[in-house]
Amino acid sequence: MLYNIADMNTTTSIAKLQREISAIRQALQKLGPIHPGSVSMQYQVCGRTGCRCMDPEHPRRHGPYHKLAYVHRGKPVCRFVRADCADEIKQRLHTYKTFRKLMDRWIELSIQQAQIEFFNSPNKPKTKRTEPASSLKSPRKKKRL
Ligand SMILES: [Zn+2]
């Protein structure tokens, strides 16, 4: 029996992709708590007369405070984090970045897998585009109003 080399390569590639996806799933399960956003240090002026922050000569602002900023469902959110919680929040922000990286990789691999499974035609040799390159570009400029 003859094996189509292209088919064998396809099977190997899919197995390889699935192995990496499986590793990503496991890594995701091991992640601790996550939170999107970033923490920055903020100083504030309360504005009360006679307060150190209102000193005309040497104003000393309050803080630093840890400010957490993130965007959720398109809305920017800002909150102050208690100093004793800052480290834990930072840990979650860090874990969130790992989470996103793993998700992005999973998506990338899934697209590659689908490309092999649904969009390749292994029986046909790869051919160069027959249409002229100019057809790839839109001949007219889209007007944006
Ligand atoms: Zn003040």
Please report, for the chain, the start and end positions of each structural domain, with discontinuous segments joined by +: 5-116
- How far apart CA 81 and CA 91 sit, in angstroms, is 13
- pLDDT beyond 90 at 2: no
Q: Report how far ligand 1's centroid is from the alpha carbon of 52 (Å).
A: 6
Average pLDDT over the chain reads 86
Its pTM stands at: 0.68
pLDDT for 11 equals 82
The model's pLDDT over 70-91, given as tens digits with 9 standing for 90+, comes to 999 999 999 999 999 999 999 9
- How far apart CA 72 and CA 69 sit, in angstroms, is 10
pLDDT for 138 equals 52
Q: Report how far ligand 1's centroid is from the alpha carbon of 13 (Å).
A: 63
Q: Report how far ligand 1's centroid is from the alpha carbon of 54 (Å).
A: 6
CA quadruple 112, 118, 123, 124: dihedral sign: negative
Q: Report how far ligand 1's centroid is from the alpha carbon of 59 (Å).
A: 9
Q: Report how far ligand 1's centroid is from the alpha carbon of 79 (Å).
A: 19
| Range 12-34 average pLDDT | 96
- pLDDT beyond 90 at 120: no
Q: Report how far ligand 1's centroid is from the alpha carbon of 42 (Å).
A: 14
Identify the bridge partners of residue 70 per DSSP, sorted by sequence position: 77
Q: Are 49 and 108 in contact (CB under 8 A)?
A: no
Contacts of 93 (CB under 8 A, 6+ apart): 35, 36, 37, 38, 39
Q: Report how far ligand 1's centroid is from the alpha carbon of 29 (Å).
A: 46
The model's pLDDT over 24-74, given as tens digits with 9 standing for 90+, comes to 999 999 999 999 999 999 999 999 999 999 999 999 999 999 999 999 999
